Each structure stands twice: as structure tokens, then as C-alpha cells.
Amino acid sequence: MRNRILILMTTICIFAFTSLACASVQMGMSGSVVQSVQYMLQDTGYLSGSADGDFGPSTEAAVEQFQADHGLTADGVVGSQTMEALSEASGRPIPEESSSTEGYQRRLVMEATAYTAADGGGDGYTATGQYLQRGMVAVDPDVIPLGSQLYIEGYGYAVAADTGGAIVGDRIDLAMDSTSEALDFGRRDVVVYVLG
């Protein structure tokens, strides 16, 4: 009897793991994985507008166009092949809902604002010498060292690439693609994971 229970439990675990690993991202879904897919689509020029984490008609159309251009079945569903192609084309890691914060070093609740490359009258380059784009954030280096890999709830994966005069202590400034998107974000508290 004990062996039967063990075999049944093993089968259930394998099925659950396989289902999770093969999960698709598609119309009607929302969350950080959808947002990460939207960032990939933006990086590759297939999606304009904000990455709001909601998989709607515009995201589906962008996925279909990406799939058609890359020799994939243009069904608008981001399965494993489409995800791998998006990751390769955008240079971003494949998002994993279950492991986005696994192995983190620190968890911080920070006051977040948003900005763009055009803000502040500068040339758009970060303190680390890169041109500012989504996925880069400004931090206080005494709190989060420059170059740190981060995961920010509601924003996604990011790198600490910039500093700012008003970014002191538990403050963080998130790079956005447009002024309207930065204004829509406003000021709010976010959970920041400093990844290992």
C-alpha cells in the first residue's frame, strides 16, 4: 500500500511539474510573466504602448506578428518555442513566475517613482554609462549597489544602473518608455527583491 501511495504521489508531482513547465501565456492572462513578455515584444519592436501586465488584443496581435516573422505558428499564444524565440531576440531571460524571486538576497519595500531618458535635462545616459531604457532603475548605491539584478513587483526584472539626486535611502526610480507611462505610474510603494 505504501508503494502505491508513493507511486501515485510521484506521478502527481511529475504531472504538476510538467504542466507548469509547459504553461502558455495567452489572451486573458495577467501578471508579471505577461508583463515580461510585453517587455520582450517592446524590445523587439512588436509592441508599442505600456507593458501593463494584461494580455489583451494588442499583445495578442504583437505575438502573432512576431510568430509570423520568425517562422512560428501564428496563433497568438506564447508557448515554449515562442518564449525561447522572444528571449533570444530581445536578450531578456525567460520569465518564470515561480522563480522570479527565488534565491533573493534582500526584500525591500521602497517608494517608487518613474522617469524617462528625457527627464532632468541630461543626455539620457545612466550613471553606469548606458542609455536609459525600460528595465533600468535609479537607486541609492548605499542601499542597492549599482549593477545589482532586481525583481520589482508590478515592473519586472531590472538592473540598478543609475542614481539621482532625490533617490536617497529607500527610494527607487523606474525607467519608462514614455512620459505618459511615467506619469501614469506616479508614486507608489513597491516590493523590490535584490536577486542572488
Cell of 191: 516590493
- Of 114, 139, 113, which Cα lies nearest the Cα of 126? 139
User: Residue 157 belongs to a domain with what CATH number?
Assistant: 2.40.40.10
Claim to verify: residue 93 and residue 105 sit in the same structural domain: no
- Residue 96 pLDDT class (50, 70, 90 cuts): low
State the chain's mean pLDDT as an integer.
82
Residue-wise pLDDT tens digits, 100-142: 556 678 889 999 999 999 886 678 899 999 999 989 999 999 9
Q: Does the predicted TM-score (pTM) go above 0.85?
A: no
Contacts of 98 (CB under 8 A, 6+ apart): 20
- Of 70, 100, 98, which Cα lies nearest the Cα of 84? 70
Q: pLDDT at position 100, please?
A: 54
Claim to verify: residue 111 and residue 94 sit in the same structural domain: no
Kindly tell me if the per-residue pLDDT of 12 is higher than 80: no
Provide the domain count of the chain: 2
Residue-wise pLDDT tens digits, 67-94: 999 999 999 999 889 999 998 998 888 7
Comparison of pLDDT for 181 and 33, the residue scoring more: 181
**What type of residue is 41?**
L
Q: Which domain holds residue 188?
A: 100-195
Contacts of 49 (CB under 8 A, 6+ apart): 58
User: Residue 26 belongs to a domain with what CATH number?
Assistant: 1.10.101.10
Work out the average pLDDT over 164-168.
92
Kindly tell me if the per-residue pLDDT of 5 is higher than 70: no
CA distance 98 to 39: 19
Claim to verify: residue 70 and residue 109 sit in the same structural domain: no
Work out the average pLDDT over 54-59.
89
Kindly tell me if the per-residue pLDDT of 151 is higher than 90: no
What's the Rg (C-alpha) of the chain? 19
Q: Domain ends where: 64, 98, 132?
A: 98
H or E, element range at 130? none
Count H helices and E strands in the chain, helices first: 5, 6
Comparison of pLDDT for 17 and 98, the residue scoring more: 98
How many CB atoms are closer than 10 A to CB 50? Answer: 18
Cβ pair 139, 160 in contact under 8 A: yes
